[in-house]
Amino acid sequence: MSEQTPTPAQPKRVRVHHLREAKERGERITMLTAYDAPTAQIFDEVGTDVLLVGDSLGDNFYGYRSTIPVTVDEMIHHTRAVAGATRRALVVADLPFGSYEASPQVAHATAVRMLKEAGAQAVKFEGGRRVAEHVRLLTSTGIPVMGHLGFTPQSENVLGGKRVQGRGQEAAERLSEDAIALQEAGAFAVVLEMVPAPLAARITEILAIPTIGIGAGPHCDGQVLVWPDMAGLSAWSPRFAKQYGQLRTALLDAARAYNDEVRTGAFPDAEHSFPE
């Protein structure tokens, strides 16, 4: 998406149609999670195409065991921070567990809050054919929707934990049909999580809308990672997450140095104190 490279004076906002155009040109889409203003500003400044305010904030920042306890109010709080700090990237907000499944109307009411109160430009929620009517209602009323297939964290209790999805011909066919149903309902992109690479490649080929992979191999139209995994902040990262930094090590070193200097009286020194 090189033609959307921002300039300090006038960055060009990434819109949903830019992602489809990128797929048509064969250009890869970059996507990261973001949960606060400082990290969102950094990821936006370097030209990340999409920032996902994921319900992954539950197990990455709130200390929850999973994404399931995350509330709508928590998502709105974090989405507002990310949207306020972002000038170029498309900001997508997850609809958390329990906030959309009951009916298309419930999904619509939650999505409206994400756009009106939080400033998101699109929403994402999990499921295939079972949520096609939800997608159809939202998109028909002007709310862009990103789908999410494969391993769906909100359903991990049904799926039996964090397991690769779509293995075997029958499961692969179901997943492909779910992807087509989301496209036909109006979704502008689909996240494929923990899906065998050949299946992800097949779905990417049959869809006109972009696929965004996470643990789905190299053939998707774009990739997303949870940013603490990407930057090496997490104490543990999934097998598919490559670390592009070592922030945990850097913070450990900085915190140890701070503690040492405070305890020995080296900080604050004259340079960091106010004179008379």
Task: For the chain, list the domains and their CATH numbers.
Answer: 2-245 (3.20.20.60), 247-276 (no CATH)
**Rounded to two decimals, what is the model's pTM?**
0.94
Return the ∠ at Cα 135 (arms to 48 and 54), rounded to 5°: 35
Distances (CA, A) of 73 to 70, 79, 93, 160, 234: 9, 10, 12, 28, 25
219: alpha, beta or left? (left if phi > 0; alpha if psi -120 to 50): alpha
Name the DSSP letter for residue 230: H
Neighbour count for residue 3 (Cβ, 10 Å)? 10
Residue 240 near residue 194, CB atoms below 8 Å: yes
d(CA 214, CA 149): 11
Q: What is the CA radius of gyration of the chain?
A: 20
What pLDDT was estimated at residue 1?
60
What pLDDT was estimated at residue 91?
98
d(CA 188, CA 203): 14
Q: Give which of 82, 28, 38, 36 is closest to 60, Cα–Cα.
A: 36
Residue 198 near residue 220, CB atoms below 8 Å: no
Tens of pLDDT, residue by residue, the chain (276 residues): 654 554 444 458 999 999 999 999 999 999 999 999 999 999 999 999 999 999 999 999 999 999 999 999 999 999 999 999 999 999 999 999 999 999 999 999 999 999 999 999 999 999 999 999 999 999 999 999 999 999 999 998 888 788 999 999 999 999 999 999 999 999 999 999 999 999 999 999 999 999 999 999 999 999 999 999 999 999 999 999 999 999 999 999 999 999 999 999 999 999 999 998
Which residues participate in catalysis according to the annotation?
A: 193
